[in-house]
Structure 1
């Protein structure tokens, strides 16, 4: 998740309902039946404009071997293609 200027992760739910669960000291209160009655499972969906697109490409084995050595292949490929495609 991207971070905002105040250090909070963007995409966080800053709704009044969420704020009611967290005290001024940062402690979370006990979750009650009201919370569980309206809670939704999982992470909220990412906005369509921020989603990445899956593409399947055929590359040479030597290139694949080099990419496999990297921790974050997607970030590397995105950066290289962004520079190459201008």
Structure 2
């Protein structure tokens, strides 16, 4: 399995969303921010840094068959109420929907 590099920082859309919503920011809100353009921008950035490969099976991911996955799941009880990793790009990767 290949090492997956994490994004060095937030994409402009993610930074804009986090700055505007502050403590109320969450993944669901981000997905609809800027009519979904911010999520598409993040997905493209993650796909680029992963060289277009799925984080699990390492096949080429295509635009209609990809999603952003949280490395540490959003429903992880150890994450607590703050869900600090919910919008952390170092906790995200692109994978195919298979």
Q: Name the TM-score class by shorter chain.
A: under 0.3
TM-score normalised according to structure 1 size: 0.26
Structure with the larger RCO, 1 or 2 (CA within 8 Å, 6+ apart): 2
Q: Which has the larger radius of gyration?
A: 1
TM-score normalised according to structure 2 size: 0.24
